[in-house]
Chain A
Amino acid sequence: MKRPLLAFACLSLALFGAGCASTQSNLAPGTDLSELQTFYVQKLPADNRGVERLISDRLNTMGKESTYGDGENPPEPVDAKVTYQDRWTWDITMYMIQLDVQIRDGESNRVLASAQSRRPSMQRRSPEGMVEEVLDEIFSQ
């Protein structure tokens, strides 16, 4: 009886606990992110955890002007739109395992910069911490 349980535990650990935290980012050629001052964070339809508000709040903390909403387009023109994809998984509790953020041109919708943070269970951070890490990664380019 103990061996199947042990095997299941090992398998779960290998599947869900493996890997290291990683971040990666990209900047489109010729992009100067310091020129971007106004932002609109577009809520991901599937997101019911308020990640769009966390991103917008962090941008405001960084000295930018940011709003958020459900619509694809902001109510007023902005320098940049922000889109994101958050992924969650369960290990004792639910946690955000990966966050991808894209900074897009406010007019053309072209991706100007993007970053991703991936953190397995043992290195998990709060959603606020994930947002901070990804945005810092983007704006440090």
Chain B
Amino acid sequence: MPVALLLAGMFAFAGCSTPTQPAAMVVAPQAVLPGSSGTVAVTVSGGDETSATGTSQISDEDFRQALEQSIRDSRVFAGIEERSDARYQLDAHIGMLSQPMMGFSMTVSIEVNYRITDLREGTVVFEENIDTEHTTSAGAAFAAVTRIRMATEGAARENIAQFLEAVSAAGLD
């Protein structure tokens, strides 16, 4: 009986992985950054869907939503539009997402390549690989899968923040 209770309790508290949430990856609005007067279309690749038995992953759609909202809030571009109407095309490719398999404090790192093409000229005007990490402490949540999700969201949020600063500094028209 104790064994059964132990196992039941462990599985009840362990829980299943849930996908990262776009809202948790949005960069908190700060001072408006200097930006481009052009609009941008955004595509994201390299993400994965979350399975219940795996760890929290970042889907292309969720990262795109977080990236677009962060761009709107920071105003580094004049707005988000479809490619046919936009001045720039931003392609973000999630190249690597490194998550721990176990532990108390969880550190997740993510590498994203951001490439911006000027659609008028057809030339790449910005390209940068941005590698960030975020640690969630053991006290942040009881379940490990939750701590990994929070660390994943934090790493993605920091990555987007660094991209916004980099693209603002690039001084696009």
Stretch of B26-34, B68-76, B95-103 contacting A (4+ beta carbons < 8 Å): B95-103
Q: Which size class do A's interface residues fall under?
A: 20 to 34
Give Cα A102 to B110, complex, Å.
13
Question: Using Cβ atoms and an 8 Å threshold, which residues of chain B touch A24?
Answer: 48
Give Cα A104 to B91, complex, Å.
17
* Docked-complex contact A6 and B3, CB < 8 angstroms: yes
Residue of B nearest to A83 (CB): B96
* Docked-complex contact B101 and A114, CB < 8 angstroms: no
* Docked-complex contact B113 and A22, CB < 8 angstroms: no
Question: Using Cβ atoms and an 8 Å threshold, which residues of chain A touch B53?
Answer: 19-20
Proximity string of chain A (4-20) to chain B, C-beta cutoff 8 Å, 1 when within and 0 when not? 00110011001100011
Question: Using Cβ atoms and an 8 Å threshold, which residues of chain B touch A110?
Answer: 93, 95, 113, 127, 129
The answer, yes or no, to whether B2 is at the interface (CB within 8 Å) is yes
The answer, yes or no, to whether A49 is at the interface (CB within 8 Å) is no
* Docked-complex contact A100 and B48, CB < 8 angstroms: no
* Docked-complex contact B127 and A100, CB < 8 angstroms: no
The answer, yes or no, to whether A28 is at the interface (CB within 8 Å) is yes
Proximity string of chain B (1-19) to chain A, C-beta cutoff 8 Å, 1 when within and 0 when not? 0110011001100000000
Give Cα A110 to B95, complex, Å.
8
Give Cα A40 to B111, complex, Å.
20
Which of A7, A11, A28 lies in contact with B45, CB distance below 8 A?
A28
Give Cα A108 to B113, complex, Å.
10
The answer, yes or no, to whether B54 is at the interface (CB within 8 Å) is yes
Which of B48, B91, B98 lies in contact with A26, CB distance below 8 A?
B48
Residues of B bordering A, CB below 8 Å: 2-3, 6-7, 10-11, 45-46, 48, 53-54, 91, 93-96, 98, 101-102, 111, 113, 127, 129
Residue pairs across A and B with Cβ atoms less than 8 A apart, 21 shown, are A3-B2, A6-B3, A7-B6, A10-B3, A14-B11, A19-B53, A20-B53, A26-B48, A28-B45, A28-B46, A29-B91, A89-B101, A100-B96, A100-B98, A102-B96, A104-B95, A109-B129, A111-B46, A111-B95, A111-B111, A114-B95
